Amino acid sequence: MEQTRVPHVVLLPFPAYGHIKPMLSLAKLFSHAGFRITFVNTDQYHDRLFGNTDVTAFYKHFPNFLCTSIPDGLPPDNPRFGIYTKDWFCSNKPVSKLAFRQLLMTPGRLPTCIISDSIMSFAIDVAEELNIPIITFRPYSAYCSWSDFHFSKLAEEGELPVTDENFDKPVTCIPELENIFRNRDLPSICRHGGPDDPILQTFIRDTSATTRTSALVINTFNEIEGPIISKLGSRLTKIYTVGPLHALLKSRIQEDSVESSPLESNNCVLSKEDRSCMTWLGSQPSRSVLYVSFGSFIKLSGDQILEFWHGIVNSGKGFLWVIRSDLIDGESGVGPVPAELDQGTKERGCIVSWAPQEEVLAHQAIGGFLTHSGWNSTLESMVAGVPMICWPQVGDQQVNSRCVSEIWKIGFDMKDTCDRSTIEKLVRDLMDNKRDKIMESTVQIAKMARDAVKEGGSSYRNLEKLIEDIRLMAFKA
C-alpha cells in the first residue's frame, strides 16, 4: 500500500482513565494493523499517563504512534470532579474544540478518520467542518448506551431527578429494561438534577450527536448484550462491538509476537503499580482472596472506609485492597485504626496504593472482586472468571451493577448501602455460601468473553471489519 494510502486515525478520549484505557487499547490494535495513530489526551492526563510509562519501550513497540495533547481550558489546580464536575463536562469544550481543530489542521496530519469518545461531541462539529469521517466510541456497556438515548424520555415522563422517594420505582419507558431496572439502576446523572440540569443536557446533546457519525464502536461483545445492541442498531448507521478490548489486544498482538508478554512494559498507567502484592498473592491458597478496588477516582469518607474494613476483616477472608493516596475524601482520614482491624490486616490482608489489576484478577489466589463497577473493571473480572460484589457510585456504574446481579448473575449488587454487616454477609456469600451457583454463570460468561476475542470470535471479526472499513476510507480519500 502506498504511503499516502496508509490510514491515519486520530483518537480523542474523554479525559478520565476509565475512558482513556479502552481507547488506548483500540489505538494499539490499529497501530498493530499498520495504521498511523495520533492519540490526543488533555494536557493533564497526558502528563499523568506518560509520567508512569516507559516511553521508549512504548514507542519501540508502536513506532507509528504519536501521543499528543490539547488544553481543557481549566486551571491546573482544578480537581475536575466532585463539585467541579460541571466545569469538567461543560466549561472546557470551547477551548478543547478550538485546540483540536488546530491540531487537525497541522500540515501532514489531516487524518483518514477521527474516533472520538461519545462525550467529546465537539469533535463531530470539527469533523463535519473539515469533511473528515468520524466514528464515535463508547467505552461502556450497550445497556448504559441504550439508557443514555432515553434521558429525554425520562425527563418528559417526570422521572427525573431520581430521588430516595422513587429509587425503587420500576423503569417503564425504556424498552428491554422494563421489569429489570429500577430508577436507582439508571446512570448516576439521573440523580443530579431535573430536566434543565446542565450536565444532563450536555449528555442528551452528546448522545443525540452520535447519530451524525459514520458508526459506533462499543467496548462490549454480542454474546452478553445482543438484544440491546440490536435496539441501538435502530438508532445508528453501523455498530462494531469489539470488546473486551483489553483481552482482544492481548489476543491479537500476542498471537503475532515472539515475546512472552509484549504488553507488560508498554501499558500506560496513572499511578506506579506496587508489585509486592503479586508476591503476597503467591503465598495465598487458591481462590481464597477477595480483591478490593474502587477504581481511579472514586472517593470514600473515613466512615465508609471503616465500614468496609470492618466488614472485610470480620468475614475472615484474605484480602488485597487498593487504597489510593487520594481515596479518602477530606483531610481527617479514618482516625485511629481499631486494634482488631490492624490485627486482621496483618494476619490476612495486603494493602497497596495501586495494583496491576488485570494480572491480579487472573491470579489463582483471587476468589472474588469488591468493585466500584466501572465497565473496564467489570469486563476484566468477566474475562478472568471472578465473581463480583458491586458498590457503584457514578456514571454507568449503577447500570453495570444491576446487569452483573440480575441479568448475567455473576455477582451481587450492593448499591446505595455501606454497612459492615451487609459487607461481611456478601463477602461470605460470594466466597462460600452462594459461590457454587454464582460460579456457574461466571464460568459461562468468562468462556463467552474469551471466545469473542479469539480468531473467528465475534469481536475479533468485528475488529477485522472495522480495520477494513477504515482502509477503504483511506483508499477513497
Nine cell digits for residue 126: 470539527
Contacts 24+ apart (CB under 8 A), 224-232: 224/382, 224/408, 224/445, 224/448, 224/449, 225/141, 225/142, 225/143, 227/176, 228/142, 228/143, 228/145, 228/146, 228/176, 229/142, 231/146, 231/175, 231/176, 232/142, 232/145, 232/146, 232/149
Nine cell digits for residue 31: 497501530
Q: Are strands 411-413 and 388-390 parallel, antiparallel or unpaired?
A: parallel
Q: List C-alpha distances in Å: 118 to 102, 115, 463, 465.
A: 20, 9, 19, 21
Per annotation, catalytic residue among 8, 46, 61, 117: 117
Please say if 19 is a catalytic residue: yes
Burial of 225-249, coded b for 16+ CB within 10 Å and e otherwise, reads: beebbebbeeebeebbbbbbbbbbb
DSSP string, 173-219: SSTTTTTT-BGGGS-GGGGS--TT-HHHHHHHHHHHHGGGSSEEEES
DSSP reduced 3-state for 369:
strand
Q: What is the 3-state secondary structure (H, E, C) of 141-178?
A: CHHHHHHHCCHHHHHHCCCCCCCHHHCCCECCCCCCCC
Angle, alpha carbons 125-128-129 (nearest 5°): 85
Q: Which residues contact 157 (CB under 8 A, 6 or more apart)?
A: 172, 173
Q: Which of 103, 96, 89, 90 is nearest to 73 (CA)?
A: 96
73/70 Cα distance (integer angstroms): 9
For residues 293 and 271, the answer to whether their CB atoms sit within 8 Å is no
Q: Which residues contact 160 (CB under 8 A, 6 or more apart)?
A: 151, 154, 190, 193, 194, 195, 200
Please say if 117 is a catalytic residue: yes
Q: Which residues contact 246 (CB under 8 A, 6 or more apart)?
A: 21, 22, 25, 358, 376, 379, 380, 383
Q: What residues act catalytically?
A: 19, 117
